[in-house]
Amino acid sequence: MKVTIEVIAAPGCKSCSAKRSELRDVAISVLGEDNLLWREINVLDELDYAVALGVLSMPAIALNGELRFSSLPTRDQFRAALSTVGSR
């Protein structure tokens, strides 16, 4: 089953784009490219969805529709979260 990874951020957040790319690489290495759906969400385009997820600070990350990080995690934190997401 594919894991949906959603990064919810403010538009124009350039400072974190390199880090997001790193995290995407981590996700690919843990799950495999075919097993993940990576979405970068502009919070202003999907405000209701962000509120429903419980996002209060950004950039936030949700895994399979569940808010897991309210700021960008380290590679190790992200790897650990991805390794448990299948069992939740």
Q: Name the site residues for another protein (rule: CB under 8 A).
A: 10, 12-15, 43-44, 47-48, 50-51, 54-58
> Cβ of residue 56: shortest distance to another protein, in angstroms?
6
Cβ proximity to another protein: between 9 and 82 the closer is: 9
The C-alpha atoms of residue 44 and residue 2 are separated, in whole angstroms, by: 26
> Cβ of residue 52: shortest distance to another protein, in angstroms?
8
Cβ proximity to another protein: between 48 and 76 the closer is: 48
Residue of 36, 21, 20 lying closest to 82 (CA atoms) = 36
Residue of 3, 8, 4, 17 lying closest to 54 (CA atoms) = 8
